[in-house]
């Protein structure tokens, strides 16, 4: 959780738990607007923040989304290194359950809920995967309703140096000695976690999120719906925003993930799956800071990604009613 969370409360967010914040606009649209099948705005935007994100920095993304979609709820999720590195999946559910509860309540009032998922770095990607599990563990269980996704500076498989660099950011001291000690500790922790995976004792958190976000059995590639009485599978459009000057998430990892997404969509029986997976390279901007260098282009990408997710007619695959 950000130490300066008062920034979020000052701009209208309600803190639901240690890592979950909710913004509910005073004007959420009329019932007629909500039932409009074009869904010109998402019903909910989920922002999954990067590791050690400060509220004043994530606020610029909040402001951008509010400018584009002023009647949309915003669910903000912060994660912790403890969750990612040391806690079991089961013990993490308490952290993410308040967000799942909000989504369940939204689905009760808007059954065809449209959700725009905006992920930052591997930490935000991990939050999305764990939130999906929290939804599945709810009573009653339900699928995280994902309509489209932005991957900002993510994802990546576990790679030693970039992950250690990211973890070392948790101690941004200007004291050279303290900074050096923090880096040494970060390298030790990452080394241990990678060694445990190599020994076959655990699945590294980065391996898990990298795989789950492209799984044909999860909620991030496709979503279920109906055409009349027949079940259908709809594709979930996604855009990857990345850059060669990011020293934490290698470009080749992002591109590989996009290629796997296309291949897995195609394996589901989709023609022209590449239409639903976009990649956008930003040259000269560092990790999770692409918006600062090309603001207009960044937000145009956000708008276009959402438009692709609600375009009509949308690609769908009809399946048997028992599927």
Determine the Cα–Cα distance for residues 101 and 90; give it in Å rounded to an integer: 17
- Tokens 């240690």 locate to 18
Tell me the average pLDDT across 149-156.
97
Query: Per-residue pLDDT tens for 256-289?
Result: 999 999 999 998 888 888 999 999 999 999 999 9
pLDDT at 124: 96
Structural domains in the chain, CATH included, are 6-156+207-318 (3.40.50.1820), 159-203 (no CATH)
The SS3 of residue 47 is strand
- Confidence label for 176 from pLDDT (cuts 50, 70 and 90): low
Tell me the whole-structure pTM to 2 decimals: 0.86
Q: CA gyration radius for the chain?
A: 19
Contact residues for 127 (Cβ-Cβ < 8 A; gap 6+)? 48, 49, 77, 78, 79, 96, 119
And the tokens for 163? 């992950």
pLDDT at 31: 43
- Residues 19/205/82/59 CA torsion (nearest 10 deg): -30
pLDDT at 323: 42
- In terms of pLDDT, which residue wins out, 206 or 281? 281
Query: Per-residue pLDDT tens for 12-70?
Result: 999 999 999 999 998 655 444 444 434 589 999 999 999 889 999 999 999 999 999 99
Q: Evaluate if residue 182 carries a pLDDT over 60.
A: no
Query: Per-residue pLDDT tens for 216-231?
Result: 999 999 887 766 667 7
Tell me the average pLDDT across 127-143.
96
In DSSP notation, 64-87 reads: HHHHH-TT-EEEEE---HHHHHTS
Each residue of 116-130: b (16+ CB within 10 Å) or e? bbbbbbbbbbbbbbb
Contact residues for 204 (Cβ-Cβ < 8 A; gap 6+)? 158, 193, 194, 196, 197
Query: Per-residue pLDDT tens for 155-165?
Result: 998 764 566 56
- Cis omega (within 30 of 0) on the bond before 313? yes
């Amino acid at each position: 959780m950000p130490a300066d969370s008062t920034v979020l409360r000052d701009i209208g967010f309600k803190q639901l738990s240690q890592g979950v914040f909710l913004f509910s606009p005073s004007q959420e649209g009329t019932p007629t607007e909500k039932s409009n099948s074009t869904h010109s705005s998402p019903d909910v935007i989920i922002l999954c923040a990067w590791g050690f994100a400060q509220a004043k920095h994530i606020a610029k993304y909040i402001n951008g989304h509010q400018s584009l979609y002023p009647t949309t709820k915003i669910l903000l999720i912060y994660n912790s290194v403890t969750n990612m590195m040391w806690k079991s999946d089961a013990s993490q559910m308490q952290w993410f359950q308040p967000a799942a509860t909000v989504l369940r309540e939204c689905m009760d009032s808007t059954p065809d809920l449209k959700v725009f998922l905006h992920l930052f770095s591997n930490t935000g990607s991990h939050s999305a995967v764990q939130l999906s599990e929290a939804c599945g563990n709810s009573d009653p269980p339900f699928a995280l309703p994902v309509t489209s996704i932005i991957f900002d500076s993510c994802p990546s498989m576990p790679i030693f140096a970039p992950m250690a660099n990211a973890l070392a950011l948790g101690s941004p001291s200007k004291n050279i000695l303290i900074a050096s000690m923090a880096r040494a500790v970060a390298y030790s922790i990452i080394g241990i976690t990678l060694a445990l995976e190599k020994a076959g004792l655990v699945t590294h958190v980065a391996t898990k999120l990298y795989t789950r976000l492209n799984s044909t059995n999860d909620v991030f590639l496709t979503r279920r719906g109906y055409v009349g009485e027949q079940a259908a599978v709809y594709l979930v459009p996604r855009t990857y925003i990345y850059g060669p000057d990011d020293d934490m998430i290698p470009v080749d990892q992002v591109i590989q993930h996009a290629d796997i997404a296309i291949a897995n969509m195609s394996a589901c029986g989709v023609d022209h799956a590449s239409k639903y997976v976009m990649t956008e390279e930003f040259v000269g901007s560092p990790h999770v800071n692409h918006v600062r260098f090309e603001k207009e282009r960044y937000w145009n990408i956000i708008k276009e990604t959402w438009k692709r997710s609600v375009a009509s007619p949308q690609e769908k695959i009809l399946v048997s009613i028992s599927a």
